Amino acid sequence: MRGDPVVTQRSTDLEAPGHGLDYGKMPGHWLLAQMGKRVLRPGGAELTSRMLEALDICSTDEVVEFAPGLGLTARAALERQPASYTGIERDETASRQVGKYLKGPGRQCLVGRAEATGLPDASATVVFGEAMLSMQTPILKASIVEEAARLLRPGGRYGVHELCLQPDDLEDAKKSEISRVLSDAIRVGARPLTPGEWKALLEDHGFAVETQVTAPMHLMEPRRFIRDEGWARTIRFVLKVART
């Protein structure tokens, strides 16, 4: 009996999450990371920058990031020299990777879950997370947003960068179809919301939405890819995909 070949990573891929998994079954974002892609957020580096600008992190801020992944946004946030930074990352490999960027006191990345961080109440002035709420069930979405609200002091800021369905009046059948196709493609359950639904989710937990920006999800579109990764990394990515 014949079967499809099983392709796994070489030892040189130890830095990225997903090491040791079959490429054919690996979640899509880990597969892209194994191939060398760093920017994995749906709106690309541009929307990450817009989110950080809106959060306006400064030297007095106590920052918590949910699911920092490869740590690119963590590095950008740390360039703003907050008083402290804590990452909450459920993947141990990713947590170790982020830990490499964290130097000095008040910088840590803990292995844990965004819906139950174990951090004290009102211990943060800024909380943010990217490309993780979209992959959760409605109950978990609500639990994570509730946890962000618990962590924040009065007047704190919460930023999210997530998958978004357009337009607001999209039919439920179409939403389900998009979620199914997307989940099959990235091998992770995807449950994106419309702009109005994201806004309602946040407002239901006491947040007032001040800034809302959208951009096409052109994660693998060549011009976006080059803009996010640069020419050298783009060429290395293409060559590695061709070899694998």
Same domain for 166 and 68:
yes
User: What's the pLDDT tens digit per position in 67-113?
Assistant: 998 888 999 999 999 999 999 999 898 898 899 889 889 999 999 99
114, 233: one domain = no
The reply to whether 158 and 225 lie within a common domain is no
Q: Which domain holds residue 16?
A: 11-38+220-243
**In this structure, how many other beta carbons lie within 10 angstroms of the beta carbon of residue 46?**
15
Together in a domain, 87 and 197: yes
pLDDT tens digits, 210-239: 999 988 766 667 777 677 777 777 677 667
pLDDT tens track for 44-77: 778 899 999 999 999 999 999 999 988 889 999 9
Asked if pLDDT for residue 4 goes beyond 50, the answer is no
If one counts the domains in the chain, the total is: 2
Q: Are 232 and 186 in a shared domain?
A: no
Same-domain pairing of 227 and 146 = no
- Tell me, yes or no, whether 29 lies in a domain: yes
Question: Do 49 and 33 have their domain in common?
Answer: no
Are residue 55 and residue 79 in the same domain, yes or no? yes
> pLDDT-derived band of residue 9, with 50, 70 and 90 as boundaries?
very low
Whether residue 122 sits in one domain with residue 72 = yes
Q: Is residue 61 part of a domain?
A: yes
DSSP string, 157-172: EEEEE--B-SSTT--H
pLDDT at 241: 67
Tell whether 4 is covered by a domain.
no
Rounded to two decimals, what is the model's pTM?
0.76
Provide the residue type at 46 as one letter. E
Distance CA 115, CA 17 (A): 21
Q: Which CATH number is 50's domain given?
A: 3.40.50.150
Structure confidence at residue 144 as a pLDDT band (50, 70, 90): very high
Q: How confident is the model over 10-32, as pLDDT tens digits?
A: 333 445 555 555 555 555 555 55
| 3-state SS, residue 93 | helix
* Residue 116 backbone dihedrals phi, psi, to 5 degrees: -150, 75
**What per-residue confidence (pLDDT) applies to 81?**
96
Tell me how far apart the alpha carbons of residues 239 and 226 are, in angstroms, rounded to a whole number: 14
CB 111 within 8 A of CB 68: no
Q: What is the mean pLDDT of residues 106-125?
A: 97
Same domain, 33 and 48: no
Cα angle vertex 66, ends 65, 71, to 5°?
65
| pLDDT tens for each residue of 163-205 | 888 889 888 888 888 777 766 665 666 788 999 999 999 999 9
